[in-house]
A and B are shown apart, each in its own frame.
Chain A
Amino acid sequence: MPFVTAKSQRSAYDVIVVGSGAAGGQAAYALCMDGAKVLMLEAGRRYSPATETPMFQTPDLAPLGAVGTPQKPFGFYDATVDGGWEVPGEPYVRASEEPAGRFEWWRARMLGGRTNHWGRISLRYGPYDFRPHSRDGLGFDWPIGYQDIAPYYDKVELLIGVYGSNEGLENTPDSSPGCLLPPPKPLVSDLLIAQRAKRLGIPAIPGHRAVLTRPLDFRRSPARLHPGNVMAQKILAEDMRRRAACLWATPCGRGCSIRANYQSTTVHLPPALASGNLDITTDAMVCEVTLGRDGRANGVSFVDRTTGRQQHATARVVILAASACESVRILLNSKSPQFPNGLANSSGSLGRYLMDTVGSSVSGQIPLLESLPPLNEDAADGQQLYVPWWLYRDQRAGKLGFARGYHIEFGGGKRMPDYGTAAGIEWLTGGSYGVKFKQDMRRYYGSFVHFAGRGEMIPNDHSYCEIDPSVKDKWGIPVLRFHWRWSEHELRQAAHMQRTFADIIDSMDGRTHGAVQTDGAQAIAPGGSIIHEVGGAIMGSDPETAVTNQWCQTWDVQNLFVTDGAVFASNADKNPTLTIMALAWRAADHILERMRRREL
């Protein structure tokens, strides 16, 4: 019985994993494949990509042409269930409504969490990214270096399937041989951007995304991932065979019914369930980690959303993997005489150093791309190419005015027409209508390019979350209140992005759409809106300042772990999901070893 209700749970488990996304899925997978009995608690509903994904649905079949609404902010067909910037009945509070102090929090209430809809961009942190303070005196160093996590990047890439290439660029690590799948062919617009950017000294290389550009190597990878574990190899080989390669159509954000991209529900959970070691309870909203008299966590309390009743589950080890802010919230709400300010918070750092990614974008229209013949450019749904941060030397020389880098995600091509295809096009057409408008549309369709910067934010004292003293959610659980502030580093970086994107569009003989912002405060997207929020329970080698050690183990409670983005000590420009998974796997291996030694 892999899916269990509160009533049918076992009386005790080896490990409770709170959350079923990238962090929870990865941790549970690694534990179950090595024999640990795991109970996974997911706040949202059970979700089945095989039967629920709208693979080939077109916008005309959806309400309102499938455009986003407050109930489906990323469009009707986005995979997110019961979520978005607001979750009904589960508010959060902003300490400030000023644009500069605004924080937005995307949540999903579903099995697999946000992995069902994410962008699948899977970039490794590089050696510099674990030593930011040593390099420029800002933020914090991690208690681990690249060499500690590199084997786990290899393992995650082999398991989930990531396309990309090894380019040998500074702080942009290569994968071990055989880890990456071949990158997809670039589009016309990709090649044009790469050609013109190169003239500006900006390198465009194959992107890295968790999409199967060919079937996984089910003959060799299982033995590489689980040496000596015949059962795990067999289960994984069987599961890898059932994942199809990309069919070069339908947006990844809808999820994938043929399991050609990574989502926890299609990659981590099926083999973990097949091991017989995983029980999952959905609709289980965890509110608190409970503490035994011995000072160890003995389980968690959760609200069964189907009955509204509070329940308790017991285990030797508790892993929080509920997303950075949700895990922090659970800890802050777990108060006891021993921990009056929240569990594992003797450092006072819990909730602090919340980070998101710096985001800024510019789009443009490129005459060279007008009136091209019909082309199928669905490709891998974006990120065939990207630009890794390239100005390390200028930055070291102090020429940029900001301390950390960004990468560029860009795209163009003949995407499936939808409501946005024609919207606001009079900036090009001079307001045409009639037959002329139809001609204009044929001319301009597919001639647009879009650039989005994704940059590193440095942790600061003004960006944090805490428990709001009065507001509770519909389950009676106190909610988070967010404080947010950017530093000059992020604002200048955002302005630099705008300039760079405008330069690239110029170099393509194109026209930028709208004003190019020179003021970073105007250029930067609100905090949280890139949905890369990390920090809040950062790892470090000093228990006085950090919440966990390098194993994601809380300094205060030895059998309590946080394996999601909350432990990030910095937020490099690389999208966090791959690193979340690598850290979670590493923590799971550590837990298994300690359990074998009877230390947990």
Chain B
Amino acid sequence: MDRRTTIKWVLAASATWPMLGTRVARSDTLPTTQGYGTDPDLLPVYRPGELWPLTLTVAQRRLAGILADIIIPADDHSPAASAVGVVDFIDEWVSAPYPVNQRDRPVVLDGFSWLDAEAARRFAKGFAELDTTEQNGICDDICDELRALPERRAAAHFFALYRDLTAGGFYSTPVGRKDLGYIGNVPLTRFDGPPPALLRKLNLT
């Protein structure tokens, strides 16, 4: 396959490449309260809040960011969850009209309330006002749904869901993909399979 042909494919494929800032609303989409419909335009970039309004309060969004960053903090490899739009992702999720989102919404909101109530009970402060050690102390009690005490089962269920949401939002971004070492989604002229040295190391030759 020569290079010119390759470039031709890539150009053909990129005719439908996502273009930032060029979202065109379709006149035939359903009202936002009904979701994006069964025939949405698949090409534009959709930003949280475009299809249905975001509904978390300022205080809830603050807590959302704090908890997301407890789950995915900045480290040597990548920034924290809130730095790549995870709060918007979670707000979009709990504000969406679909059954799973409507099911998750009270779990998240009740979870936020539980965190504040627990922080008040233990430290007479809101969760957002606690220091890291105090926040981790609470999270340690609810981070493992399988081993949480019965009275904390609901909070642990919330934490498990919230970790899924945070990680789902984070690892879907370019930053998250890079953190995991994902290097695909690029056009190649040929696919050679795994490097022979790696296969030898794994006894797969």
Binding site for B on A (CB under 8 A): 45, 50-67, 69-72, 76-77, 81-84, 87-88, 184-188, 191-192, 195, 214-215, 244-250, 254, 257-258, 368, 372-380, 414-427, 430-435, 437-438, 441-442, 445-446
Residues of chain B with a CB closer than 8 A to A51's CB:
15-16
Known: A65-B172, A432-B143, A437-B71. A247 touches B187 (CB 8 A): yes
**Does any Cβ of A come within 8 Å of B70's Cβ?**
yes
Which chain A residue lies CB-closest to B167?
A: A422
Which chain A residue lies CB-closest to B184?
A: A378
Chain B 1-13, CB-CB to A under 8 Å as 1, else 0, gives 1000110111011
Known: A56-B13, A423-B167, A432-B143. A375 touches B42 (CB 8 A): no
Which chain B residue lies CB-closest to A246?
A: B191
Contact among A52, A184, A245, A377 for B42, CB-based, below 8 A:
A52
**Does any Cβ of A come within 8 Å of B116's Cβ?**
no
**Pairwise interchain contact A257-B13, C-beta atoms closer than 8 A:** yes
Which chain A residue lies CB-closest to B37?
A: A71
**Pairwise interchain contact B17-A192, C-beta atoms closer than 8 A:** no
Known: A57-B18, A71-B35, A431-B145. A376 touches B139 (CB 8 A): no
**Pairwise interchain contact B38-A422, C-beta atoms closer than 8 A:** no
Known: A63-B96, A421-B167. A185 touches B191 (CB 8 A): yes
18 new A-B contacts at CB < 8 Å, known A82-B39, A185-B194, A247-B13? A54-B43, A56-B13, A57-B43, A60-B173, A65-B172, A69-B98, A70-B98, A192-B202, A215-B1, A244-B9, A249-B184, A377-B184, A416-B184, A418-B172, A431-B146, A433-B139, A442-B179, A445-B182
Query: Min CB distance, A60 to chain B, in Å?
Result: 5
**Pairwise interchain contact A438-B78, C-beta atoms closer than 8 A:** yes
**Pairwise interchain contact A249-B9, C-beta atoms closer than 8 A:** no
Residues of chain A with a CB closer than 8 A to B164's CB:
419, 422-424
Once the chains are docked, how many angstroms separate the CA of A69 from the CA of B37? 10
Once the chains are docked, how many angstroms separate the CA of A579 from the CA of B114? 57
**Does any Cβ of A come within 8 Å of B103's Cβ?**
no
Once the chains are docked, how many angstroms separate the CA of A254 from the CA of B13? 12
Known: A52-B16, A54-B16. A438 touches B179 (CB 8 A): yes
**Does any Cβ of A come within 8 Å of B177's Cβ?**
yes
Residues of chain B with a CB closer than 8 A to A45's CB:
39
Best-buried of B78, B143, B191 by chain A (most CB within 10 Å): B191
**Pairwise interchain contact B92-A64, C-beta atoms closer than 8 A:** yes
**Pairwise interchain contact B204-A64, C-beta atoms closer than 8 A:** no
**Pairwise interchain contact B168-A422, C-beta atoms closer than 8 A:** yes
Within 8 A of A (CB), among B139-189: 139, 143-147, 159-160, 163-164, 167-169, 171-174, 176-177, 179-189
Once the chains are docked, how many angstroms separate the CA of A434 from the CA of B72? 5
**Pairwise interchain contact B172-A59, C-beta atoms closer than 8 A:** yes
**Does any Cβ of A come within 8 Å of B40's Cβ?**
yes
Residues of chain B with a CB closer than 8 A to A380's CB:
191
**Pairwise interchain contact A55-B16, C-beta atoms closer than 8 A:** yes
Once the chains are docked, how many angstroms separate the CA of A58 from the CA of B43? 10
Once the chains are docked, how many angstroms separate the CA of A248 from the CA of B179? 22
**Does any Cβ of A come within 8 Å of B93's Cβ?**
yes
Task: Offer 27 A-B interface pairs, CB within 8 angstroms, sorted by A.
Answer: A51-B15, A52-B43, A54-B18, A56-B13, A56-B18, A56-B185, A60-B172, A63-B46, A67-B168, A69-B98, A76-B42, A188-B194, A247-B187, A249-B185, A249-B188, A257-B15, A258-B9, A379-B191, A380-B191, A416-B184, A417-B176, A418-B171, A419-B172, A430-B147, A431-B145, A431-B160, A442-B180
Which chain B residue lies CB-closest to A256?
A: B13
Residues of chain B with a CB closer than 8 A to A430's CB:
144, 147
Best-buried of B39, B43, B172, B198 by chain A (most CB within 10 Å): B172
Residues of chain A with a CB closer than 8 A to B144's CB:
426, 430-431
Using a Cβ–Cβ cut-off of 8 Å, how many residues does chain B contribute to the interface with A? 82
Within 8 A of A (CB), among B84-136: 85, 89, 92-93, 96, 98-101, 136
**Pairwise interchain contact A249-B187, C-beta atoms closer than 8 A:** yes
**Pairwise interchain contact B42-A187, C-beta atoms closer than 8 A:** no
**Pairwise interchain contact B192-A185, C-beta atoms closer than 8 A:** yes
Per CB-CB distance, the 10 closest pairs between chain A and chain B, nearest first, are A185-B193, A431-B144, A422-B167, A419-B168, A374-B181, A247-B187, A378-B184, A431-B143, A54-B42, A59-B172
Once the chains are docked, how many angstroms separate the CA of A184 from the CA of B100? 37
**Pairwise interchain contact A249-B71, C-beta atoms closer than 8 A:** no
Once the chains are docked, how many angstroms separate the CA of A54 from the CA of B45? 11
Known: A417-B177, A423-B164, A434-B71. A372 touches B198 (CB 8 A): yes
Known: A426-B146, A431-B147. A376 touches B186 (CB 8 A): yes
**Pairwise interchain contact A61-B171, C-beta atoms closer than 8 A:** no
Q: For chain B, what secondary structure do more than half of its interface residues adopt (helix, strand, loop), or is it mixed?
A: loop
Once the chains are docked, how many angstroms separate the CA of A425 from the CA of B167? 10
**Does any Cβ of A come within 8 Å of B137's Cβ?**
no
**Does any Cβ of A come within 8 Å of B54's Cβ?**
no
**Pairwise interchain contact B70-A247, C-beta atoms closer than 8 A:** no
Known: A51-B15, A63-B36, A64-B93. A417 touches B70 (CB 8 A): no
**Does any Cβ of A come within 8 Å of B53's Cβ?**
no
**Pairwise interchain contact A83-B38, C-beta atoms closer than 8 A:** yes
Once the chains are docked, how many angstroms separate the CA of A445 from the CA of B51? 31
Which chain A residue lies CB-closest to B189?
A: A247
Once the chains are docked, how many angstroms separate the CA of A445 from the CA of B46? 27
**Pairwise interchain contact B181-A65, C-beta atoms closer than 8 A:** no
Once the chains are docked, how many angstroms separate the CA of A368 from the CA of B201? 11
**Pairwise interchain contact B72-A437, C-beta atoms closer than 8 A:** yes
Query: Min CB distance, B17 to chain A, in Å?
Result: 6
**Pairwise interchain contact A433-B16, C-beta atoms closer than 8 A:** no
Query: Min CB distance, B86 to chain A, in Å?
Result: 10
**Does any Cβ of A come within 8 Å of B25's Cβ?**
no
Residues of chain B with a CB closer than 8 A to A257's CB:
12-13, 15-16
Residues of chain A with a CB closer than 8 A to B5's CB:
244
**Pairwise interchain contact A58-B185, C-beta atoms closer than 8 A:** yes
Which chain B residue lies CB-closest to A194?
A: B204
**Pairwise interchain contact A434-B70, C-beta atoms closer than 8 A:** yes
Residues of chain A with a CB closer than 8 A to B145's CB:
426, 431
Query: Min CB distance, B49 to chain A, in Å?
Result: 10
Known: A192-B202, A435-B73, A435-B75. A187 touches B16 (CB 8 A): no
Residues of chain B with a CB closer than 8 A to A188's CB:
194, 198-199, 202, 204
Best-buried of A51, A64, A430 by chain B (most CB within 10 Å): A64
Once the chains are docked, how many angstroms separate the CA of A572 from the CA of B173? 42
**Pairwise interchain contact B181-A373, C-beta atoms closer than 8 A:** yes
Once the chains are docked, how many angstroms separate the CA of A422 from the CA of B6? 34
Residues of chain A with a CB closer than 8 A to B183's CB:
374-376
Which chain A residue lies CB-closest to B34?
A: A71
Once the chains are docked, how many angstroms separate the CA of A365 from the CA of B156? 24
Query: Min CB distance, A211 to chain B, in Å?
Result: 11
Residues of chain A with a CB closer than 8 A to B180's CB:
414, 417, 421, 441-442, 445-446
